[in-house]
């Protein structure tokens, strides 16, 4: 009888699996969240796109009215999708002595936690991912998570240096094909990004930044994820394409004047890489001011406007060489007197053009002396940094929309100004014309997802979208 009852092992799932397959799943979770949900959200908040007046799917974002259900899916996908898989990869790698895979998993974990704390502030970290041992992990303050993430990266780097074992995952590492040298560059760039995020806080660490600059081993190829089919295929395309364009019918996200007008005024050819022209004859670029649905009554369809130029197999970018260049430029301005910042700035613009599939000549035409984007060295740190940040914003469109929002929230560049006072040509954002927030406020964070608040007794909901993230101190 006893034998006869031993039939409770699920025959529908594998009993064991190589860690490399799990690493791919983790990367897919991060990429899908970054390239889908956060490309959409970040695109509104960084004012790359706005809600088409004839539809209303994302009216909650454009009106600054995201509720506590808004973040349920991204939160779940990052914690229970990416981070639990990475924890498994780390454990197995440690057991197998695979220091390379351990480093890869650690870096992706740090990247993910950084996005979580940048979005939500305090989030579960030290008590997270313990399964039934702790089903209500208490949140840790962002000020504690950042240093912990940096030390986890340093620890994994040291492990790898002490006993360099090339990762065994091979092409299951969709991002860098298990190339350890690329991942070490990724590590340094990620650390630089985190140090600079803390620039306006008491945790700013010029020494550490200068050490990184001295080592000078940053990203040389874009960190991209793509397993996407070129054909239009449900569940197999770029996440923004799959949902916003294919599933929802391409009717919601239309170009915002904030970015489109910036490109137009500066004759920036990236306009055609970032946006598709409208379907009028002849087709032209057309945008509306952020949130300005009131001016377009009746049934003017999204096809009348420029729309995001994301294709079926556009990769998801986790970090780019261009972003790395701008980070270095900012670091040089902030902590090294600005020497060499201009070159990094130019490289940032150049590499942005290359990522968008444009030419070096087109970039150089704008950054050369007399060009619209010519770098003007300045004794004032903020003046110098504004140039870097505006270019960074103009180069992150549909590359990493959320990062663009974090950076403009941190540095206040490009400035968000009241409608009517904006100058789109120098890089300005406006307060969404359909904002429901009184007193000219704009969102700074997201509410904790209801699913988490309902299930985690140690997490208390925050009061509003306008509460600042810890590093937002300028």
Partner 1 sequence: QEKTISGTVSDPSGLPLPGATVLVKGTKSGTSTDFDGKYSIKANQGATLVFSFVGYTTKEARIGSSSSINVQLSEDAEALEEVVVTALGIKREKASIGSAITTVNSDQLNEGSQTTMADAIKGKVAGVVISNSSTDPGASSGVIIRGFSSLGGNNQPLYIVDGIPINDGSRFSSSLDGAYDFGRGSGDINPENIESISVLKGASSTALYGSRAANGVILITTKKGKSSKLDIDVSTTMIFSDLLRAPNYQTEFGQGWDGQHYLGENGSWGPRFDNTVQVWGNVVNNSQKLKPYSFQKDQLRNFFDVGESYVTNVAISGGSDNTTGRISVNNSTSDGIYPTKSDSYERNTLTLSFNSKLDFLTFGGSLNYVNTSGSAVASGQGLSVINNLMQIPTDIDITEFKDYKNDPFNSISNYYTPYGVTNPYFTLNEDGSGYLKERVYGAFDVTAEINSWSSIGYRFGIDSYTDNTKVWQAIVKPLPGTPNFGSSTLDEGSYFERTSIFKQFNHDLFYNLSIEANEKFMIESTFGFNYNDRFDTSISSSVSSQDIPDYFALTNSTNTPITSSVINKRRLYGVFNSTTLSYNDMLYITANIRNDWYSTLPVENRSVLYGGVNGSWVATNTFPEIKDVISYAKLRVGYGETGVDTDPYQVNPVIILGNVDNQGFRSLAFPANGTNAYEIGNRAANPDLKPERRKEFEIGTELSFLKNRISIDFTYYDAKVENQILSLPLAASSGYTSQTANIGVISNKGIEALLKLGIFNNPDGFNWDTTLNFSTNDAILEELDDRLDQVSLGGLSTTSLVAREGEPLALIEGSVPKRDDNGNIVVDANGIPVASSEKEVYGDTQYDYTLGISNEFSYKNLSFAFTFDIRQGGLMFSRTADITRFTGNSITTTLNDRQPYIIPGSVQEVSPGVYQTNTTAIDTEHWDDYYRADAIARENVIDKSFVKLREVILSYRFSKKIIGKTPFEDLSISLIGRNLLLFTPESNQFIDPEVSTFGTDLSSQFGEFSANPSTKSLGVTLKARF
Footprint of partner 1 on 104-163 (CB under 8 A): 123-124, 128-132, 134-137
Q: How far apart are CA 379 and CA 217, in angstroms?
A: 27
Only one residue has tokens 């394409």, namely 241
- We find the least distance from the C-beta atom of residue 416 to partner 1, in angstroms, to be 15
CB contact at 8 A, 128 and 459: no
- Please give the structure tokens belonging to residue 139: 């949140």
- We find the least distance from the C-beta atom of residue 101 to partner 1, in angstroms, to be 15
With binding defined as CB under 8 A, does residue 235 bind partner 1? yes
With binding defined as CB under 8 A, does residue 378 bind partner 1? no
Write out the E strands in 148-248: 223-225
From 253, 299, 247, select the one nearest 276 (Cα to Cα).
253
CB neighbour class for 200 (10 Å; exposed up to 12, middle 13-18, buried from 19):
middle
Of 223-231, 327-335, 345-353, 417-425, the segment contacting partner 1 by CB under 8 A is 223-231
Write out the E strands in 246-298: 253-255, 275-276
- Interface with partner 1: number of residues (CB under 8 A): 112
Which of 211, 227, 284, 360 is close enough to bind partner 1 by CB under 8 A?
A: 227
Of 26-34, 101-109, 180-188, 365-373, the segment contacting partner 1 by CB under 8 A is 26-34
With binding defined as CB under 8 A, does residue 231 bind partner 1? yes
Angle, CA 140 vertex, CA 138 and CA 141 arms, to 5°: 140
Of 360-368, 389-397, 398-406, 449-457, the segment contacting partner 1 by CB under 8 A is 449-457
Helix (H, G, I), strand (E, B) or coil at 188: helix
With binding defined as CB under 8 A, does residue 50 bind partner 1? no
With binding defined as CB under 8 A, does residue 461 bind partner 1? yes
Question: Nearer to partner 1 by C-beta: 110 or 187?
Answer: 110
Which of 34, 40, 395, 405 is close enough to bind partner 1 by CB under 8 A?
A: 40
Only one residue has tokens 């994994």, namely 156
Give exposure, 351-387, as e/b (b: 16+ Cβ within 10 Å): bbbbbbebeeebbebbbeeebebebeeeeeeeebbbb
Which of 249, 280, 337, 474 is close enough to bind partner 1 by CB under 8 A?
A: 249
Helix (H, G, I), strand (E, B) or coil at 316: strand
Which of 282, 357, 420, 463 is close enough to bind partner 1 by CB under 8 A?
A: 463
Which of 106, 172, 367, 411 is close enough to bind partner 1 by CB under 8 A?
A: 172
CB contact at 8 A, 469 and 142: yes
With binding defined as CB under 8 A, does residue 215 bind partner 1? no
Q: How far apart are CA 327 and CA 351, in angstroms?
A: 13
Question: Nearer to partner 1 by C-beta: 394 or 447?
Answer: 447
Q: How far apart are CA 416 and CA 18, in angstroms?
A: 48
Question: Nearer to partner 1 by C-beta: 210 or 226?
Answer: 226
Question: Nearer to partner 1 by C-beta: 141 or 360?
Answer: 141
Question: Nearer to partner 1 by C-beta: 239 or 338?
Answer: 239
Which of 148, 165, 210, 236 is close enough to bind partner 1 by CB under 8 A?
A: 236
Which of 210, 309, 441, 442 is close enough to bind partner 1 by CB under 8 A?
A: 441
With binding defined as CB under 8 A, does residue 93 bind partner 1? no
Q: How far apart are CA 37 and CA 31, in angstroms?
A: 10
Question: Nearer to partner 1 by C-beta: 251 or 366?
Answer: 251
Which of 164, 233, 339, 425 is close enough to bind partner 1 by CB under 8 A?
A: 233
Q: How far apart are CA 270 and CA 266, in angstroms?
A: 10
Question: Nearer to partner 1 by C-beta: 84 or 201?
Answer: 84
Question: Nearer to partner 1 by C-beta: 91 or 267?
Answer: 91
Q: How far apart are CA 433 and CA 108, in angstroms?
A: 37
Helix axes 321-335, 206-215, angle to 10 degrees: 130
With binding defined as CB under 8 A, does residue 281 bind partner 1? no
Question: Nearer to partner 1 by C-beta: 245 or 327?
Answer: 245
With binding defined as CB under 8 A, does residue 301 bind partner 1? yes
Q: What is the CA radius of gyration of the chain?
A: 22
- We find the least distance from the C-beta atom of residue 366 to partner 1, in angstroms, to be 33
Of 259-267, 269-277, 415-423, 450-458, the segment contacting partner 1 by CB under 8 A is 450-458
With binding defined as CB under 8 A, does residue 295 bind partner 1? no
With binding defined as CB under 8 A, does residue 210 bind partner 1? no
Write out the E strands in 91-154: 123-124, 139-140
Residue 136 CB partners (closer than 8 Å, separation 6+): 455, 456, 457, 458, 459
């Amino acid at each position: 009888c006893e034998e006869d009852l031993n039939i409770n092992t699920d025959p529908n799932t594998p009993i064991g699996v190589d860690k490399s397959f799990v690493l791919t799943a983790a990367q897919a979770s991060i990429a899908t969240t970054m390239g889908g949900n956060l490309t959409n959200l970040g695109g509104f908040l960084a004012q790359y796109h706005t809600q088409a007046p004839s539809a209303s799917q994302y009216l909650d974002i454009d009106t600054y009215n995201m509720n506590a259900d808004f973040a349920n899916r991204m939160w779940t996908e990052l914690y229970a999708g990416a981070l639990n898989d990475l924890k498994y990869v780390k454990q197995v790698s440690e057991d197998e002595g695979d220091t390379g895979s351990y480093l890869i998993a650690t870096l992706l974990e740090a990247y993910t936690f950084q996005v979580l704390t940048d979005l939500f502030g305090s989030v579960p970290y030290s008590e997270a991912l313990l399964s039934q041992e702790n089903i209500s992990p208490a949140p840790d303050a962002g000020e504690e998570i950042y240093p912990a993430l940096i030390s986890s990266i340093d620890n994994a780097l040291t492990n790898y240096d002490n006993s360099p074992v090339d990762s065994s995952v091979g092409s299951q590492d969709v991002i860098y094909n298990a190339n350890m040298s690329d991942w070490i560059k990724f590590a340094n760039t990620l650390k630089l990004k985190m140090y600079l995020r803390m620039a306006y806080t008491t945790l700013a660490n010029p020494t550490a930044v200068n050490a990184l600059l001295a080592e000078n081993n940053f990203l040389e190829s874009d960190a991209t994820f793509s397993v996407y089919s070129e054909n239009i295929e449900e569940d197999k395309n770029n996440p923004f394409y799959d949902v916003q364009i294919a599933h929802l019918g391409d009717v919601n996200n239309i170009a915002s004047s904030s970015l489109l007008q910036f490109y137009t005024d500066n004759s920036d050819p990236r306009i055609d890489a970032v946006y598709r022209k409208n379907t009028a004859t002849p087709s032209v670029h057309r945008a509306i001011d952020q949130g300005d649905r009131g001016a377009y009554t009746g049934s003017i369809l999204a096809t009348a406007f420029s729309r995001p130029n994301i294709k079926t197999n556009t990769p998801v970018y986790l970090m780019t060489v261009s972003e790395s260049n701008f980070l270095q430029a900012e670091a040089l301005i902030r902590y090294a007197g600005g020497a060499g910042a201009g070159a990094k700035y130019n490289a940032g613009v150049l590499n942005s053009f290359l990522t968008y599939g444009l030419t070096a000549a087109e970039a150089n035409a704008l950054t050369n002396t007399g060009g619209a984007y010519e770098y003007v060295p300045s004794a004032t740190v903020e003046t110098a940094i504004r140039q870097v940040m505006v270019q960074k914003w103009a180069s992150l469109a549909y590359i990493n929309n959320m990062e663009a929002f974090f950076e403009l929230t941190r540095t206040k560049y490009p400035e968000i100004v009241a409608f009517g006072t904006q100058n789109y040509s120098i890089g300005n954002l406006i307060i969404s014309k359909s904002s429901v927030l009184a007193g000219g406020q704009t969102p700074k964070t997201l509410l904790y997802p209801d699913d988490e608040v309902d299930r985690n007794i140690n997490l208390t909901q925050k009061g509003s979208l306008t509460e600042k993230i810890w590093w937002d101190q300028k």
